[in-house]
Structure 1
């Protein structure tokens, strides 16, 4: 039996390592959002499957017998498609969804449905640091008059599409002290981030708390109805052990 691990998160990499140690036949699939993904401890593939039919063909040809979805909590389209096709084929499927972040006593967080709501909270002339990924840019079309800095992992191919905006290239992880210094140097007034959860991206939120910056946090999409949702690597490994 071959396990298909849909990766791209820190948890997926840990699971891949454990599968390698156990000698479990498995392959990790990466979406290809990063140009130079880190090497994986198990067999890997990068890029899409060629649509729904391509995914069905891959599942059959690769002898996949279970799918563990450990993609980013905001990879809603990938998750919905995978869950539906696995249900159609009666293929075991589970979604690893780490818990979202919760505000502490000194955090000034406002939860929003999506990035298009950000402009209503940020006054004209203020500087927003956007940690929501390049694909979120179309939703900031209503941010005229606000300064924007969008952090990206890979150097952009095109100029920033909105007036008063700029890219900042940086590859995580980022230390809290570095985030504090960066926000001070840039003169950031607001932090906009996705509620991805986990430890890797927490530093920016901790830095915002120290600096007294308000945070606009984009709420994560709901998991598809009826799917098995796992909350930790330990739960994922237990699920895999009985497949």
Structure 2
């Protein structure tokens, strides 16, 4: 059973570790290539795009892929759309493996927005100290629409200087991040507001913002293209096993580890 995993998340890495001990499956994990040093899996992998829907369809056919797992970041909307179309053209089953989004709890002060452009505007005209964790690809709206703020920007890799707002400090790191460490960081940097995407998963900065009474501008995620969806690597393995008519090995490597994702 040949399986292509479109990855870059904790869930994709977890599924790769589970599949590594299944002798009846031949998986490949594909990274988009946006992170300079991805955490490599214990299965064959590739790095780079496919060239749109047609390129992905060509790959699926050339490699005789039986199943496609879309385990990309919840905000990787284009590749998810391409995956849905290519799998339909190639006539192979597709599964979306995506963790659920965050939900506000008592004590949270969230301002929901639908895009990073709206998020930049939502900070307001008065200069503030902003903790910005939306990835290094989406900084232009903050540079162009809200240059008056002081930004603490965290991403896995150092952003292109040309994309940065004029007042920006960069800190690199790969999550998940401990809530106490996040609280200390926000206090040391005297952050007044947090801007982030609703990526879901373990995340200490939201706990820290809640404890410090800081508002959070939250960019909502778009729904993935229609299709069967699960939230955990174990559920994805069960789906793959059902399609293969196989029972998965009972034990494998522990499903944990960092992801190739933003902060």
TM-score grouping bracket, smaller chain normalisation: over 0.9
Report Cα offsets for 1:203-231 as digits up to 9, x if no partner.
11111111111111110011113x11223
Q: Is the 8 A contact 2:140 2:163 kept in 1?
A: no
Give the one of 130, 133, 136 matched to 2:132. 130
Name the SS for the 1:21 alignment partner: coil
For structure 1, which segment, 231-240 or 93-102, has the greater mean C-alpha deviation from structure 2 after superposition? 231-240
Match of 1:198 among 191, 197, 201: 201
In the alignment, what sits opposite 2:100? 99
> Greater shift after overlay, 166-175 or 110-119?
166-175
Structure 1 residues 157 and 110, CA, compared in 2 at 3 Å: closer, same or farther? closer
- Counterpart Cα distance in 2 of 1:73 and 1:223: 8
**Runs (5+) with no aligned partner, structure 2:** 244-263
Tell me the residue number matched to 1:175: 178
Q: Summarize the alignment of residues 1-243 of structure 1 with structure 2, pairs less than 5 Å apart.
A: 1-23=1-23, 24-118=25-119, 119-140=121-142, 141-158=144-161, 161-199=164-202, 202-225=203-226, 227-243=227-243
- Give the TM-score of the pair, scaled to structure 1: 0.93
Tell me if the contact between 1:122 and 1:146 (Cα under 8 Å) persists in the aligned partners: no
State the TM-score, normalizing by the size of structure 2: 0.86
Unaligned segments of structure 1, at least 5 residues: none
- Tell me what 2:256 maps to: none
Q: Deviations over 1:34-68 (max 9, x none)?
A: 11111211111111123333222211121101101
How far apart are 1:232 and its partner, in Å? Answer: 2.4
The more displaced of 175-184 and 139-148 is 139-148
Aligned CA-pair RMSD = 1.5
Query: Mean Cα displacement is larger for which, 11-20 or 230-239?
Result: 230-239
**CA separation of 1:205 and 1:32: change in aligned 2, threshold 3 A:** same
Aligned length: 240
